[in-house]
Chains A and B, each alone.
Chain A
Amino acid sequence: MDVHLTINGEAWTLDVRAGELLLHALRRAGFYGVKHGCETGECGACAIILNHRLVNSCTMLAAQADGASIITIEGLAPDRPGARGWLDPIQQAFIDCGAIQCGYCTPAQILAAKALLRENSSPTEREVREALAGVICRCTGYVKPVQAVLRVAALLRGEPAPAFDETDDGTPALPFPSTGDLPEAEEPPAFTSSGAEPTPTAIRVDAPRLILAPPRPDTRVVNRPAIKVDAVKLAKGRPVFTDDLTLPGMLYGALLTSPQAHARIRTIDTAQARALPGVHAVLTYQDVPRVIYASGGQSYPNPPPYDQVSLDSKVRHVGDRVAAVAAESPEIAEEALGLIQVEYEPLPAVFDPLEAMQEGAPVIHDEPDAVGIHDAERNLVHDLHVAYGDVEQGLAEADLVVEREYRVHQVQQVHIEPHVCITWWDEDDRLVVRSSTQVPFHTRRMLAPLVQLPIRRIRVIKPRIGGGFGGKQEMVLEDLCAHLTLATGRPVRMEYTREQSFASARSRHPQILRYRVGANKDGTLTAVHLHIIADKGAYGPHGLTVQFVSGFRGLSTYRAPHLRFDCQVVYTNKPAPGAYRGYGAPQALFALESVMEETALALGFDPVEFKRRNWLREGDEITMAKAMGEGREGFQQFVRSSGLEQCVQQGAAIANWERRYDPNWRFDPARPHIRRGLGFAVAMHGSGIAGLDMGAASIKLNDDGSFNLTVGATDLGTGSDTILAQIAAEVLGVPTEDILVYSSDTDLTPFDKGAYASSTTYISGNAVFKAAQEVRQQIIQHAARHLFLDPDPQQMTLEGRQVWTHDGRSVPLDQVALHSLHQATQHQIMASASHMSYESPPPFSAQFAELEVDIQTGQVTVQRLVIAVDCGTAINPVTASGQVEGGVIQALGYTLCEEMAYDHAGRLLTTDLRSYRVFAADEVPEMPVILVQTYEPSGPYGAKAVGEIPKHGVAPAVASAIFHATGVRLRALPFTPERVWQRLQEAQIPGVSS
């Protein structure tokens, strides 16, 4: 049927089917800025403005839009001849404020702001938060988007930007962008027809309480805010994500998943499905080669076990792969799935790791060809034991031994862009894989044997990624999609539904953690023993290394002469956990910080003082580093930079920590059921995997003095392309916009292991630094020899797009470029470099939580989360603080309300964003961020990692605060109202049952 409507001011007629969703119709018409996120109206990524109101296009029919007027992101400041790239003031504000990370939800957020400001030109912060509340952002923690909307509202009212020049406590904020006296970029295109003049970018960013403690390196570009290199295209909603592409002849893949937790496929009949018109392929285990592999995107050789095949005759969890279909349309593919007849032979299933280890438990991996399972009969994937000293001796010598058990649960990454990829044969008979992946190079290597092609015949392209958080450090779709292209010869696109994103993708490993801590009355530690039982779900990816990180992190923050780690990693019939930002550390540090606080209190110590006595300081050895590498022996390491003490002091000041000691503060006379508490935790992480992770970069000089920087590093929304450009710009004496970054494509960019393990700034950043240094040398040498005729290049510098001699002569870079390319000793000034480090310098953090507990309902309301982070030099303080804010809010979800829950048959109950709760903009607490800068000698410009450290401290700090408020210690996450209420009941604290 025809639907007549107005889209972005133009009349459109769309031919739609009766049941077609407006979302699909709009994307089909080329409005790719409208995103698919959840299908149930919960995430808001598909938001449009319909007759002036913000609505989800995924929960209304296209037919219902007949006669309507729709605005999509493409309509805000449409690219026109002579005016490409002009921006709506809201888009400009999002860019200026650093409000864009992955950018997948950005169009929806900007439209939400547009709809709000049309009705309310002077919104309060609360009104802004409510307006953004229907658009879930998993990256930012909403701090900067809210700032952006407040800022643009003020600018549109004709006011100066509100209080952006100073932080709340008077510390000077950050000029934005701080390009010093470098020349201005090109003039923004003139555009006046709508009256929306593009605003200049040289304004100040609102960064309240983002404090950069000294030392600040003497730099022009690094350690200063810079606009994200991908910000404009993301703000404009341009088609930059994997699915924003339709190839001629493209088929739509769909995945049939198992309704059974554990079963053999007795028969599978695909005849009807194959016979359905429009179906081009139906693949089951009978149709694809049986090649065992491990799906985790990790360096060669992938850690064991190898316990997966693309399609199997046995299913091991509800949501496991059964069959894949390729058809002319998503609807036909879906219908074909329903026509596949599967007869299952159900097998007994087991969902609890303790039961799974028992004699007689169902054996989940009984296939003979699995490799590297420790004891398949007992479902024991790994049995790990690492000792430093003699823990039993240390415990025997202690004045006090504290033994505690903690439990952490399964949570999901919830990147708003689901797993998605498109595969096709190119004109050279090479398989192209366009995928939303954090690990394009690992994917190419891991995919090759599965599709039985040599690596050279595979090309993996990573476009922009709509968030990953570790979920996309995994090959969950690419092999199936590729098999469908192999079977049909056609381009095939596959995308997970939100339900599949929960039941058929990866998640965080649940663990039972048992600590034994030996301590003396003087507050020193004698021994720490950590025993973990980890739930591996049905398959093994990342099982070894996540648990190694748990053990390593769980035994590293504090000095003790005797340490031991024991761990059983156990299969169950649940969707397999894998990599999730923090990678084992959030689990361990919840337990570690809690047990250290409990030990301190048992000894009569103030927890902060007790921890301070024992935490690692500069110069200390990280003793477990040598014994515990990435699932193998590691390398000896020392702490060479630590701002932990400063983090604690700065954080305590902002958190008003002294209130903790005021007994009156804990009670509210007007609300007798409320108890207030303040809690505290510290954390330590690493920067990349020592002796393993490698990143490479390539830089070349162009005719006009700009540079191409190509990196294998995989910006998944973190801003890594930007900070890598800043590092190159700093070395080469140019503003960031002179660096043209491209990442990542296995044909075009050098190798990088990918975006994980907090490695990109430190590892890939050093690679860029080295490559830029080499290019710098080539520039100076060419200038010295041919342009200055000066034999002493040593004293030359690059600054302000010029090469300078010590006596003040200069030549612009474009002249060096033109001269070297066209006029003398013609050659391409270019260099490549790679970097690997035997060190993994630890970033540190101090986390403070302020909250209220309703002792009658168990509701915990976190009001303030103060975090101080030592990430070395912050290459870009705005993107760094954005990482911190987003990480803290993810961690708060982990702490309070996110939880994958199952029924008795192993069916996931939390399959949408209604039942699985992710924080929205109007639900988050205040979140001041402090960056305590140190100078890490091995990092680029002194930088360490920042991506994962913010995930660690929130859960233990909230547990600490609940204890402070109520005297009740919670040792199992998440702290849902009911769980808190039950613990309060058991403890019978006064007022609970009244």
Chain B
Amino acid sequence: MLPDYDSLAPATWAEALAALAAQPDVVPIAGGTNVVVGMRAGELRGRTLMDINRLPELHGIRVSDGHVVIGGGTTVAELLASPAITEHAYPLHQAAAAFANPLVRNRATIGGNLVDASPAADTYPPLLVLDAEVELVSLHGVRWLPLDQFVLGVNQTERRPEELLRSVRWPLAPERSAGLHHKLALRKGTACSVMSAAVRVDTDQLGRCTAARIALGAVAPRPIRAHEAEQSLVGESLTEVTIRRAAQLAGQACRPIDDVRSSAAYRRRVAEVVVRRLLTAVDLELKEGAQA
């Protein structure tokens, strides 16, 4: 059961920002799937809840100026149903499909998932490989942060208390690029992931890797990029040897904690296996694309 709270329901974006500026301990609530659970556990910082669900500024998925831009209040179900996401952010589509269960997907928002910053948050690895940035807005202005810099640690981000995460954007992928996501869990969606990974590889006309992105979830206090693994692929063709080396480096990048779901050694090991399989599948997709 819950202690009592104050509540705010700002009608406009400006009101919401003003409320946050005036009272930094206001807790924005969108879908509620994290905030309400946190309330029950007594983990909320503030005692005033501000419903931001209806603010139109937080909604919409659009493609413009070479970017995909989605509102922070976009639900995971909306991501899953969006043809634009399927076309331009397939790893994110896959992560949305593996996200919790359909009821939670209908409420949980991308902004909430990012701000909550669980080490196992499903949307981080795909957005990291897409080079996503988040837009943070307060009365003082707007700033864009690369997602990799936004997330700091377990439930910690660069968001200041007076800021709202208005949108997430990433550039459209170049030609000859492919990406995939995989979540390893004891069951499907509902269980938090044992670990998850997303990869993306851009290639030149000869099939050589011009850029690689490898991101891992639940293997460190925050979702991480495996930079050494990525670098090892640049300039190379994807072969069994290069894939294997990159996967090993990705495994070594893990800094997992032991917890109820799994030991550190196991997470490191399966991170390597999952990255290897993802890179192999991406390679296949790129080759098929080249033939088509």
Binding site for B on A (CB under 8 A): 1, 17-21, 39-42, 44, 47, 53-56, 58-61, 63-64, 66, 112, 130-131, 133-135, 254, 330-331, 333-335, 856-859, 896-897, 901, 909-910, 913-915, 917, 919-920, 922-923, 976-978, 981-982
Contact = CB atoms under 8 A, between A and B. Distances in A.
27 contacts: A1-B7, A18-B5, A19-B2, A19-B5, A41-B37, A53-B77, A56-B103, A60-B31, A112-B102, A133-B188, A133-B190, A134-B101, A134-B102, A135-B103, A330-B1, A331-B1, A331-B2, A856-B270, A857-B184, A858-B266, A901-B260, A913-B190, A914-B192, A915-B260, A917-B190, A976-B186, A978-B194
A60 B7 contact: no
B37 A40 contact: yes
Nearest to B270: A857
A913 B101 CA distance: 12
A41 B104 contact: yes
B1 A910 contact: no
A977 B184 contact: yes
Contacts of B138: none
Contact of A21 (B2, B9, B192, B262): B2
A917 B187 contact: yes
Interface in B251-272: 259-263, 266, 269-270
A461 to B, nearest CB: 25
A334 B187 contact: no
Contacts of B9: 63, 66
Given A19-B7, A133-B102, 20 more contacts: A18-B6, A18-B49, A39-B37, A47-B103, A56-B33, A59-B33, A63-B9, A63-B51, A64-B53, A66-B9, A331-B3, A334-B1, A857-B184, A914-B190, A914-B192, A915-B260, A919-B187, A923-B187, A977-B186, A982-B266
Contact of A130 (B102, B186, B273): B102
Q: Chain B interface mostly helix, strand, loop or mixed?
A: loop
B37 A978 contact: no
Interface in B175-193: 184, 186-192
A923 B2 contact: no
A47 B101 CA distance: 12
B60 interface: no
Interface string B3-46: 11111010000000000000000000101110011011000000
A920 B190 contact: yes
Given A18-B49, A909-B260, A919-B187, A60 B36 contact: yes
A66 B270 CA distance: 46
B131 to A, nearest CB: 28
B82 interface: no
B77 A56 contact: no
A245 B37 CA distance: 26
B273 A856 contact: yes
B2 A20 contact: yes
Given A59-B36, A59-B37, A17 B102 contact: no
B239 to A, nearest CB: 16
Contacts of A59: 31-33, 36-37, 104, 107
B90 to A, nearest CB: 19
A134 B187 contact: no
Contact of A63 (B7, B33, B37, B77): B7
B103 A897 contact: no
B1 A54 contact: no
Contacts of A1: 7
A54 B102 contact: yes
A518 to B, nearest CB: 38
B102 A131 contact: yes
Contacts of B2: 19-21, 331, 334
Contacts of A915: 191-192, 260-261
Contact of B40 (A18, A39, A896, A922): A39
- Interface-central residue, A41, A60, A63, A130, by most chain B CB under 10 Å: A41
Interface string B146-189: 00000000000000000000000000000000000000101111
B37 A18 contact: no
Contacts of A44: 101, 103
Nearest to B102: A134
Contacts of B259: 909
Nearest to A133: B101
B103 A54 contact: yes
